[in-house]
Every structure is written in C-alpha cells, then in structure tokens.
Amino acid sequence: MRQRGFSLLEVLVAVTIIGIGFSVVFSGMTGSVRGLQRVEANDHRLELARFKLAELDLIRRIRPDDSATGVFDDGTRWTLKSTPFIPAVEGGARSNPASVVRVDLTLEWMGRRGMQQRIIRTYRYQQANAEATPSLEEQLRDLR
C-alpha cells in the first residue's frame, strides 16, 4: 500500500530547483540595478557639463590658448581649453576684427574599466576687444 504525499528527496529536489531559480532572478536584478546606477551617474555628469558650458555664456571674452580646471561634486575632473579656430584679421581690405575660438570641455572620471574620458566641443564667436581680458580661470572664479 502506497502512502500519499512527497518523499523527503522530492521535496529537497524541488527546494533546490526553486533556490537556483531565485538566485538567477536576483543576479539579473542586481546587474540591472548596477546598470541603472551607471546611467544615472552618466546623466548627472552630463548635466554638470551643461552647467559648466552655460557658465561660458556668462563670460565676456575667452582668450585663445587659455585653460581652466576643476572638480565637480561627484569627483569628475573637468578641463576647459580654448584654441584659436578663426583668428581676427587686422587691417587691409579683408579686415575682420572678430574671431572664433574653439573650447573643449574634457571630463575625466573613474569608471568600471579605469579612467574614462569624454570631450565636448563648442565654438565661440567674439568681437575684438582692446581691453585686457582676464584668464578663463579668473573669470569662472568671479562667477562664483
């Protein structure tokens, strides 16, 4: 005569299979949470970069071959470097007192695979100015 119910071995096998299933699900969820944290950190870093570029709009004039550096609150290092792109042309028939300066914003942070870097490039059209222009570092400091 056979009794109804499950044997101890059947129960152990079922619990083991359920445990393996839960560990696979939780492992996948952990990976998703880490990925989401990386995306949020990247989004925050990009927002900070936009704020830094917006500060450039408040600066009167940027000298060519100038730079400024700093660190955001999340530890991301930033560097602004200006280089002449279209120089001003003085005198003559093709005189143009305005110039265009290229500004590179470089972001550096520690990522999963070591030091990560991203460069954001923008251009600034500016009229010639006879007065002395403070450095980029000084002008950014004065904004604070």
pLDDT digits (tens, 9 = 90+) for 106-142: 999 998 889 999 999 999 998 877 677 888 898 888 8
Question: What's the confidence (pLDDT) of residue 95?
Answer: 63
> Is the pLDDT confidence value at 1 over 60?
no
Residue that is written with structure tokens 């990009």 in the block? 46
Label residue 101 by pLDDT band (50, 70, 90): very high
The mean per-residue pLDDT over the stretch 95-99 comes to 76
For the chain, domain boundaries: 8-143
Question: What's the confidence (pLDDT) of residue 114?
Answer: 92
Question: What's the confidence (pLDDT) of residue 93?
Answer: 60
- Cβ(85)–Cβ(101) under 8 Å? yes
Q: Which residues contact 73 (CB under 8 A, 6 or more apart)?
A: 48
Question: What's the confidence (pLDDT) of residue 51?
Answer: 94
- Cβ(68)–Cβ(80) under 8 Å? yes
Question: What's the confidence (pLDDT) of residue 94?
Answer: 64
> Is the pLDDT confidence value at 38 over 70?
yes
Question: What's the confidence (pLDDT) of residue 115?
Answer: 92
- Cβ(62)–Cβ(136) under 8 Å? yes
> Is the pLDDT confidence value at 97 over 80?
no
Q: Output the average pLDDT for the chain.
A: 88
